[in-house]
Amino acid sequence: MQPGTRSAPAIHANGRNVPELARRYGMTERGMYKLIFRVRNRMREGA
């Protein structure tokens, strides 16, 4: 990791936007929203 960069969870937790995460990881914005939605659901279910 380059100096001054942070992990995706840290970036998202600190208020950066979803389009920025999507660009960073080569996904569409819609795909990133779907991924975040799935992760949140799994965390709620405790899986």
The pLDDT, as a whole number, for residue 1 is: 44
């914005």: which residue's tokens?
29
pLDDT tens for each residue of 11-45: 555 556 888 888 999 999 999 989 989 988 999 98
28 located within any domain: yes
5 located within any domain: no
Q: Which of 8, 30, 34, 3 is nearest to 19 (CA)?
A: 30
DSSP label at 34? H
DSSP label at 39? H
Domain of 31 in residue numbering reads as 18-45
If DSSP states are collapsed to H, E and C, what string results for 5-30? CCCHHHHHHCCCCHHHHHHHCCCCHH
39 located within any domain: yes
């001054």: which residue's tokens?
4
8 located within any domain: no
The pLDDT, as a whole number, for residue 19 is: 86
The domain total for the chain is: 1
Who has greater pLDDT, 4 or 36? Answer: 36
